[in-house]
Amino acid sequence: ETGVTQSPTHLIKTRGQQVTLRCSSQSGHNTVSWYQQALGQGPQFIFQYYREEENGRGNFPPRFSGLQFPNYSSELNVNALELDDSALYLCASSLGGQGIYEQYFGPGTRLTVT
């Protein structure tokens, strides 16, 4: 059974640029949730995708967008990067539309915006 993987591991971008982060869900899981974890804080829910549709969104502006593909892998896109977007971005996969239970997290992508 393959766990949740994320790429890249680290990324450095300049303010105003755009970034795409990728997540492969655990085998058999059809739901992916994305979280932002700023330094010294807990993960903060960005949004969830279930069967290729957005299925809930946290308090993040529209420049945070996502996609889920037929194989249930997912992308997080952030446009017009700001310095405060520097954080660890975590994805978590689960089975079913209610992604709050038994979520399996990837190791994260560390994004630094300069």
Partner 1 sequence: DQQVKQNSPSLSVQEGRISILNCDYTNSMFDYFLWYKKYPAEGPTFLISISSIKDKNEDGRFTVFLNKSAKHLSLHIVPSQPGDSAVYFCAASEYNNNDMRFGAGTRLTVKP
Distance of CA 25 to the CA centre of its chain: 11
Number of residues this chain uses to bind partner 1 (CB under 8 A): 26
Residue 101: CB minimum distance to partner 1, A = 8
- Quote the CA–CA distance of 45 and 63 in Å, as a whole number: 15
79 or 98: whose CB is closer to partner 1?
98
Tell me the three state secondary structure of residue 84.
Answer: helix
Task: Please give the helix or strand (H or E) that residue 104 lies within, else none.
Answer: strand 104-105
* 75-94 footprint of partner 1 as x/- string (CB under 8 A): ---------------x-x--
**Strand pairing partners for 104?**
93
The footprint of partner 1 (CB under 8 A) covers 4, 33, 35, 40-45, 48, 55-56, 58, 90, 92, 98-108
